[in-house]
Structure 1
């Protein structure tokens, strides 16, 4: 009977010591867990309604010598250090360049280095960059050409002074032969076979590239310029406030529209009378706000709008002349024909011959069919785009008959 009693007396102190040691180890382990994860917070993980009922002093372990108050103080210190570290990191981040107002993709560059626009000025391979240009041309003239029209282009280029940058787009791939002309050596040549001027314009005349030029001439190759002077033309365009224009056409050659017909009694005209039923509004094409696309001249601002309207896959530009009015306001006052400086449309079907014979049709027939299809497609796209816009805005289109 005495042995069991001695055994119980001996086991009790051992169990007490084991409990003390276990508690101490648990407290220490918990402390290091708290150190490892200082961002954890009771207030983040427990409902606020429960917090008032918890007495944190109850957790105090008298045997360990570490009170809850001491642990919380250590916790607070660690959080403070972490906060200071985060603040220092944020300060370091602000030293990195990020400018949201920079052009897209250039936000990491300091604004002072941004060159958002370019030009077509030719540069030297030597000397000081600041001394490269003896003159900065103010205007740009482009021709889309084949070598067979070299005499016509030679005569045309000579009508443009050193104030013009000359750019030739070669649809036949022949460029080196043009070096027989002295002016060709200071001309920019771009060669891609069997492409139209609007294909070239969309890809090589981005508004940010031609930004230095006040006016951009985008001309065909079959234009007679005997009665044309480029500098005088610019003066008249400025005088009459034209943003989109063309020279008048000699009345007896290649005339399609009454609007583009040269008049003898005016410097510039902006409206005309067409055949009955052709104009639903005297301020709309083809009676006003209209020029053709064969010899168009754009101001810098007008071209920025027109470039965005040119479709990537519709390369002939048919229908574009009826839509140019959307890029200036009021269009019937800022689009016009310059009568005092006129040209002759020679109607040479050179680009048509670059087509391909198919199904028994001549090359030019396939090209002409494509032109007509593109006109229909462009009109459809414009109509659909307008409808989508007005629908998204929740407003009735201006030309709608709905009440």
Structure 2
């Protein structure tokens, strides 16, 4: 900090060193002009100096040799060509904090700051190796997915069912009893995907592990119970009929000798596929609506990839049993009475093994299975209420 006397001393020094007033003025003018020219040329040279300095400091950083990995699939990120929203031909690296260059509104939610060319929005259940070239991991890609919600006590039946599905299917087991490693007694189980969470239903698993972006590689998704008899079923033949009749949501016909809840799911002998039935008078307010048409049960449904993307959103996160859910599936395809149907030529038997119901807990003297069934009824009522309220709100929003 300068003292109060400093300006006075500086003034005296300048005056004595200047000689005459005229000579001091000329020297001051010359000094000013020299300073201006020096500053001008220094400013011209600064960008070149800055660029040289940047390149020098960058060259001091350790950079791995990526040339041996370079191909169309694996390139350093700095070599990825700009895509939509980034059409500039400039090779200048984008500024990290420049929001105008990094925010891409068309990107998936949460990925707006990423360059579109690096986004991996979808995934799959394909197993990967821990070694070797990633591009050589998959010599074969399954086209379909089948899931079963299982307990170890039903392993023999599941073993029989799995053998009805070809190598074109990825097998995914949801374990509600926590037992997984014991399944390795079956060779196919060693290549299956196992998810274990105790005492949950298949729709609980589906909402959490079958997001549309996870199952996107699969053309069709089977979400089946563990107690189905498959003596008269072949998965590949089933899908041929699904394609032939343009079914987006389907199920195999059920053996008519067993007690059935719905006539729509009953197998019609001599038929390949049916899409509607006649229920007792008064049960269907419209022949094109459930349960007379546009309806399959939640026991053994099969969804196309496109239909499942909608159905997943229809699934409620907290209503895990799915009762009533099947009556609303028609909202995910159009026209529903043509794209939802039952495949009669490939049919199954509902064996009704006591399984998940016994995973409940007894309360107030009520048997575990009865407590589970009571909740199923409550969930059905809740789902119907939510759907009705949502439709009313939508109509009001549209001015209806």
TM-score interval, smaller chain: 0.7 to 0.9
CA RMSD of aligned residues (A): 1.6
Cα distance, 1:204 vs structure 2:
0.2
Partner of 2:324: 319
Partner of 1:152: 157
TM-score scaled by length of structure 2: 0.75
Partner of 1:308: 313
Partner of 1:347: 352
**Structure 1 residue ranges, 4+ long, deviating more than 3 angstroms after superposition:** 90-96
Partner of 1:244: 249
Which one of the candidate residues 206, 216, 223 is aligned to 2:221? 216
Cα distance, 1:287 vs structure 2:
0.2
Which one of the candidate residues 100, 105, 110 is aligned to 2:110? 105
Secondary structure of the structure 2 residue equivalent to 1:295: coil
For residues 191 and 269 of structure 1, what CA distance do their matches in structure 2 show? 36
- Quick one: structure 1 residues 356 and 102, their matched pair in 2 at CA, closer, same or farther if it must change by over 3 Å? same
For residues 394 and 218 of structure 1, what CA distance do their matches in structure 2 show? 38
| Kept after mapping to 2: 8 A contact 1:352/1:367 | yes
For residues 325 and 170 of structure 2, what CA distance do their matches in structure 1 show? 25
Secondary structure of the structure 2 residue equivalent to 1:148: helix
Cα distance, 1:277 vs structure 2:
1.1
Partner of 2:190: 185
Cα distance, 1:134 vs structure 2:
1.5
Partner of 1:124: 129
Q: Flag structure 2 segments of 5+ consecutive residues without an equivalent.
A: 1-94
Cα distance, 1:96 vs structure 2:
3.9
Q: Which has the larger radius of gyration?
A: 1
Matched, 1:283 2:288: yes
For residues 312 and 126 of structure 2, what CA distance do their matches in structure 1 show? 21
Can you list the C-alpha shifts for 1:88-113, whole angstroms capped at 9, x where unaligned? xx999478422111111111111110
Trace 1:1-400 onto structure 2 (pairs within 5 A): 93=98, 96-395=101-400
| Kept after mapping to 2: 8 A contact 1:254/1:346 | no
For residues 97 and 318 of structure 2, what CA distance do their matches in structure 1 show? 48
Can you list the C-alpha shifts for 1:223-273, whole angstroms capped at 9, x where unaligned? 000110000001100000000000000011242110000011210000001
Can you list the C-alpha shifts for 1:126-172, whole angstroms capped at 9, x where unaligned? 11111111210010000000000000000000111110000000000
Can you list the C-alpha shifts for 1:284-329, whole angstroms capped at 9, x where unaligned? 0000000000000000010000000100110000001100000000
Q: Flag structure 1 segments of 5+ consecutive residues without an equivalent.
A: 1-89, 396-403
Secondary structure of the structure 1 residue equivalent to 2:194: strand
- Quick one: structure 1 residues 96 and 359, their matched pair in 2 at CA, closer, same or farther if it must change by over 3 Å? same
For residues 217 and 315 of structure 1, what CA distance do their matches in structure 2 show? 18
TM-score scaled by length of structure 1: 0.75
For residues 263 and 323 of structure 2, what CA distance do their matches in structure 1 show? 18
| Kept after mapping to 2: 8 A contact 1:214/1:300 | yes
Secondary structure of the structure 1 residue equivalent to 2:301: strand
